[in-house]
Chain A
Amino acid sequence: MVLLFEQLLNGFQFGVTLFLMAAGLTLVFGIMGVINLAHGSLYMIGAYLAAVTINQTGSFLLGGLAGLAGAGAAGMAIEYVVIRRLYARDHLDQVLATFGLILCLNELHTILYGRTPLFAAIPSFLEGSVEIIPGVPYPVYRLAVIVVGILVAIGLYLLITRTRLGMLVRAGATHREMVGALGVDIRMLFTLVFGLGALLAGLAGFMAGPLLSVEVGMGERILILTFVTIVIGGIGSVRGALIGALLVGIVDTLGRAYIPATLRLFLPPVQADGIGAGLSSMAIYVLMAIILVWRPKGLVSAHG
């Protein structure tokens, strides 16, 4: 029971990271109709800049600032140089061009930082663990990640439903040309939304730094999980991204924790571990397949 609770929280924390990625990706797709594979690279940029800054200056907050600002700026630059030319193209061209971007950015990071993974330390004020429920100690840092994620979710909700920018984003997602015709600088809006998505990806990368090793290839790993997330949730919907992210985070974490253990009841340990590892890494894809058979457009339809 204690283990289950801890694993649920871990799943929640992973889901929150996925949400930060998925929200940006789904916003960019919803409003601009662009599928951006390089979203994972922005996560990587954020993680690297944060980790390097933390290790250089020793300041966690400065690292966060560097990661966020760096990823946001890189995102806007990428939008301005490459993505902007892809709006009118079909998805195939977008996939290939952003694939090219990934190759380039990954190699750039290998050149800049080498092949050895970097590690960022957890800051002293977030070290240790607390007992949320008596008898269940939980790391403060992971808890902080969850809190930040929830705050961002609330912030995004308010931004989209309560502000002028959010109104334009919603309008743009429904009818892009009309918004442009009404005199809104749609290019500026696109760049801003892309920058916002990049900022969220950078935040996710910065927060993941102390939990994972920062290395080239981390972006693609989370990118594909993000795809699964927004396919489950429904592309273009931030609410769907939240639901999908939590679902994927929890199913993945629980699968890894329980499937091998359950198999060990029936099979010899070596076999159980082998098959269990395979099955648990496939769990979220099976989840996606089931949901798609049930609802081909995802759980939350973006327009309606």
Chain B
Amino acid sequence: MVKLSREIWATALILLALLLLPPLAYGLDQPFYVEVWSRIMIYALAASSLNLILGYGGMVSFGHAAYFGIGGYVVGILSFHSTEFLPLIGGWEGTTSAFISWPLAVIISGLIALVLGAISLRTSGVYFIMITLAFAQMVFYFFISLEAYGGDDGLMIARRNDFPPLNLADFFYGHVYLYYVVLVALFGFLYLKSRLIGSRFGMVLQGAKQNERRMASLGYPVYRYKLAAFVIAGAVCGFAGALWANHQTFISPDSMAWTKSGELMVMVILGGMGTLMGPVVGAAVLLTLEAVLASYTEHWAFFLGPILILVVLFARNGIWGWVVGRGREDGR
């Protein structure tokens, strides 16, 4: 318990700070911070889902943003049909209800993750990296060619989903409501993930990361375990995408560009791979860094690139590893 205390303290502190952020932001008359942190938490959710397979399962998926985009497009397309009164399937004109479109976003991105994962997981190592990237590009080009839904330019979403009793589209407090929905989603998933990691399933997954052959000879159907994790990660990332579409009221193929997949990976590594809060910290740091650099120069990527290289070369345990690692030294 002593070993963990530092991690638990830090987690609780972050949660408390995030809970108090909207009243503070409004109190200090800086309401845009609510939007900024909604954005960070949505990316944190996506990065956390990637962490499940990357950090715990050792699957270097370089196409994770595809599921983010798919989730977003499910919300966007359903809402588009609903507002334009266009039949989608069998006369159904879509919906703007969060309680239908969000679960659908989860299911559809999970199903696509099932198909793509089933093929990709037949390979491993560098093949896996390239194939996940290639499939993500396939999905990306597919949405670019969907002219009916804006193609290259993306799809405007008329208004945020109905989430009674909260009105996410409320002129004054919509952002705050959405912020808390995202907060609950993020920490809800983190809790579930911590339970999952500690379960038998999580043990097999981590065992497969260390030595797949050994797990197989212990009698575990490793492929199926990995595929299950891959599907969960894809489904949750789709959920993050659905939240993103609501946050932006816009979705475009850009949200699943391969650079986004790269950024998600960077968030996981930067914060700390295979740790619960690492991706959250990583998302916060990376997005803040981007924003700060962008406020100085439009060529921020020119400086971000070398920073990434330095992080990879010299700070392998990530920020969270550093926080918790020191705790372990102190507490022995």
Residues of A within 8 A of B (CB): 29, 35, 82, 85, 89, 91-93, 95-97, 99-108, 110-111, 220, 224, 227-228, 230-231, 235, 274, 277-278, 281-282, 285, 288-289, 292-293, 296-298
Given the contacts A281-B142, A281-B145, A296-B123, A107 and B299 also touching, CB distance less than 8 Å: yes
- CB under 8 Å from chain A, chain B span 146-196: 146-148
Shortest CB-to-CB span from B86 to chain A, Å, is 14
Q: Does B114 have its Cβ within 8 Å of any Cβ on chain A? A: no
The 3 nearest A-B residue pairs measured at CB: A104-B305, A100-B308, A103-B305
Bound CA span A82–B316, Å = 16
List chain B residues, Cβ under 8 A from A92: 54, 60, 265, 269
Contact A278 B146 (CB under 8 A): yes
Q: List 9 A-B contacts (CB under 8 A).
A: A35-B126, A91-B129, A92-B269, A99-B262, A100-B304, A110-B299, A231-B130, A282-B141, A296-B127
A-contact 0/1 string along B107-130, CB 8 Å cutoff: 000000000000100110111011
Contact A85 B313 (CB under 8 A): yes
Partner of B142, one of A93, A95, A282, A297: A282
Bound CA span A86–B231, Å = 31
List chain B residues, Cβ under 8 A from A93: 312-313, 316
Contact A285 B127 (CB under 8 A): no
Given the contacts A224-B133, A274-B148, A96 and B305 also touching, CB distance less than 8 Å: no
Partner of B60, one of A91, A105, A111: A91
CB nearest to A33 among chain B residues: B126
Partner of B301, one of A106, A224, A298: A106
A-contact 0/1 string along B49-72, CB 8 Å cutoff: 000001000001010000000000
Partner of B125, one of A85, A91, A285: A91
Known contacts A92-B54, A105-B305, A227-B133, then 4 further A-B pairs from the complex at CB < 8 Å, ordered by chain A residue: A96-B308, A97-B312, A103-B302, A292-B119
- CB under 8 Å from chain A, chain B span 196-242: none
Shortest CB-to-CB span from A42 to chain B, Å, is 15
Shortest CB-to-CB span from B238 to chain A, Å, is 20
CB nearest to B60 among chain A residues: A92
Bound CA span A6–B289, Å = 50
Q: Does B138 have its Cβ within 8 Å of any Cβ on chain A? A: yes
Bound CA span A231–B126, Å = 9
List chain B residues, Cβ under 8 A from A96: 262, 265-266, 269, 308, 311-312
Partner of B146, one of A274, A293, A296: A274
Q: Does B258 have its Cβ within 8 Å of any Cβ on chain A? A: yes
List chain B residues, Cβ under 8 A from A278: 141-142, 145-146
Chain B: how many interface residues by the 8 Å CB criterion? 44
Q: Does B16 have its Cβ within 8 Å of any Cβ on chain A? A: no
Shortest CB-to-CB span from A242 to chain B, Å, is 18
Partner of B258, one of A224, A235, A281: A224
Q: Does B309 have its Cβ within 8 Å of any Cβ on chain A? A: yes
Contact A107 B312 (CB under 8 A): no
Contact B299 A231 (CB under 8 A): no
Contact A103 B308 (CB under 8 A): yes
List chain A residues, Cβ under 8 A from B258: 220, 224
List chain B residues, Cβ under 8 A from A106: 301
Contact B142 A91 (CB under 8 A): no
Q: Does B36 have its Cβ within 8 Å of any Cβ on chain A? A: no
Bound CA span A101–B307, Å = 10
Given the contacts A92-B269, A224-B258, A100 and B305 also touching, CB distance less than 8 Å: yes
Contact B308 A99 (CB under 8 A): yes
Contact A100 B309 (CB under 8 A): yes
List chain A residues, Cβ under 8 A from B123: 292, 296-297
List chain B residues, Cβ under 8 A from A298: 127
Shortest CB-to-CB span from B267 to chain A, Å, is 11
List chain A residues, Cβ under 8 A from B131: 231, 288, 292
Contact B304 A103 (CB under 8 A): yes
Shortest CB-to-CB span from B2 to chain A, Å, is 32
Q: Does B90 have its Cβ within 8 Å of any Cβ on chain A? A: no
Bound CA span A102–B266, Å = 14
Q: Does B82 have its Cβ within 8 Å of any Cβ on chain A? A: no
A-contact 0/1 string along B248-286, CB 8 Å cutoff: 000000000011001001100100000000000000000
List chain A residues, Cβ under 8 A from B262: 95-96, 99
Bound CA span A220–B129, Å = 15
Bound CA span A292–B305, Å = 33
Bound CA span A163–B127, Å = 30
Q: Does B291 have its Cβ within 8 Å of any Cβ on chain A? A: no
Partner of A95, one of B129, B135, B146: B129
Bound CA span A182–B271, Å = 42
Q: Does B306 have its Cβ within 8 Å of any Cβ on chain A? A: yes
List chain B residues, Cβ under 8 A from A99: 262, 265-266, 308
Q: Does B4 have its Cβ within 8 Å of any Cβ on chain A? A: no
Q: Does B88 have its Cβ within 8 Å of any Cβ on chain A? A: no
Bound CA span A101–B145, Å = 29
Given the contacts A92-B269, A282-B138, A235 and B126 also touching, CB distance less than 8 Å: yes
Shortest CB-to-CB span from A227 to chain B, Å, is 4
List chain B residues, Cβ under 8 A from A235: 126-127
List chain A residues, Cβ under 8 A from B130: 35, 227-228, 230-231
Q: Does B137 have its Cβ within 8 Å of any Cβ on chain A? A: yes
Contact A107 B148 (CB under 8 A): no
Q: Does B134 have its Cβ within 8 Å of any Cβ on chain A? A: yes
Bound CA span A107–B316, Å = 25
Bound CA span A101–B146, Å = 32
Bound CA span A95–B266, Å = 10
List chain A residues, Cβ under 8 A from B312: 89, 93, 96-97, 100
Shortest CB-to-CB span from B68 to chain A, Å, is 17
Contact A224 B137 (CB under 8 A): yes
